[in-house]
Amino acid sequence: MFGNRVLDRLDQMLEEALNGEFKESSYDESKISRLETKWKQYLSTSCLLKENLEKEKKNIKGLVSDISHQTKTPMTNIRMYAQLLEESLENGEPEQNRRLVQEIVRQTDRLDFLIQSLTKMSRLETNVVEVKPVMQEVEPLIAEVVGGAQSKAREKEITISCENAELYKAYYDLKWTKEALGNIVDNAVKYSPSGSKVTISIREYELYLDICVQDHGIGIREEEIPKIFGRFYRSEEVHQEEGVGIGLYLAREIVRKQDGYIKVVSTPGEGTEFHVFFRKNA
């Protein structure tokens, strides 16, 4: 009788798992045998793997859809400008030829940037590349981020400053965090008026280190702040600027993978502060 009862229970558990109805909470370990307990643990793990596979499949499907949608416009533009260039060459119009070549190069650069961003995004989301934070000084991170933004800043006569970075340490991955913080600083330069300042300041709290990037640009409306970290989100107010709306999404995902977080404080017309919090200990 005991053996039949156990077999019936195991059969019921397997049937529920096959039908996608298995729930670990439905079985109380204090009331079932060791064999049933092991069977329950195995089925729970199998169901979790199935859920993860479904989630992974959904993520890949979404990524393929994003790639198709986002690359369509630059590819169409390149094809159109190439056709115009072909016609212009036949008509012998050197100035027109030069402008068309420049536009093809610009669209190609945009497509290259988009593909690189999508590749980084997919590698992060599918955990192909892991973010591996370690305890280290903050100064090298700030130096590389500022250095990467200086070219655009000089074009707009914008000053980027940071003081006393050598005094602080945090728990972070240098390569990926440079990408995250670099995207935030790049936005600060992009949306700030010529001749203004971008200030990077650092403040210590008990558990976290706060790296704040402050600009004096156009600002962000309060109701829009939750949206700016969405994939490919771009405000109507910034459509005239180059970009694909993926930098802040990447920044948040990278910081999250290091158990950090980002806080935004902004006043439209006056500027924005991005506070990036990193753990001070492993």
241 dihedral zone (left: phi>0; alpha: psi -120 to 50; beta): beta
Token representation of residue 135: 């305890």
pLDDT for 2 beyond 50: no
Cα four-point dihedral sign 152, 230, 107, 182: positive
Q: State pLDDT tens for residues 146-184.
A: 999 999 999 999 999 998 899 999 999 999 999 999 999
Question: Which of 42-51, 203-212, 255-264 has the weakest average pLDDT?
Answer: 42-51
pLDDT for 282 beyond 70: yes
Alpha carbons 177 and 183: distance in angstroms, whole number: 10
pLDDT for 17 beyond 80: no
Residue 20: pLDDT band (50, 70, 90) is: low
Mean pLDDT, residues 113-120: 73
Name the residue among 128, 144, 147 with its Cα closest to residue 136.
Answer: 144
Q: What percent of the chain shows pLDDT beyond 90?
A: 36
Alpha carbons 257 and 244: distance in angstroms, whole number: 22
Structural domain spans, the chain: 1-129, 134-279
Q: Residue 282 belongs to what H/E stretch?
A: none
- What would you report as the CA-atom Rg of the chain, rounded to the nearest whole angstrom? 26
CATH of 134-279, one of 3.30.565.10, 3.40.50.720, 3.40.630.10, 2.70.98.20: 3.30.565.10
The single-letter code of the amino acid at 148 is G
Name the residue among 277, 272, 197, 281 with its Cα closest to residue 235.
Answer: 272
- 195 vs 242, residue with greater confidence: 195
pLDDT for 244 beyond 90: no
Alpha carbons 274 and 232: distance in angstroms, whole number: 19
Class of the CATH-defined domain 1-129:
mainly alpha
- Structural contact between residues 167 and 180, judged by C-beta atoms closer than 8 angstroms: no
Alpha carbons 178 and 128: distance in angstroms, whole number: 19
Contacts of 275 (CB under 8 A, 6+ apart): 210, 211, 212, 262, 263, 264, 265
Q: Residue 184 belongs to what H/E stretch?
A: helix 174-190
Residue 1: pLDDT band (50, 70, 90) is: very low
Alpha carbons 18 and 141: distance in angstroms, whole number: 50
Q: State pLDDT tens for residues 82-97.
A: 777 777 776 767 777 7
CB-CB neighbours of 229 under 10 Å: 16
- Structural contact between residues 187 and 234, judged by C-beta atoms closer than 8 angstroms: no
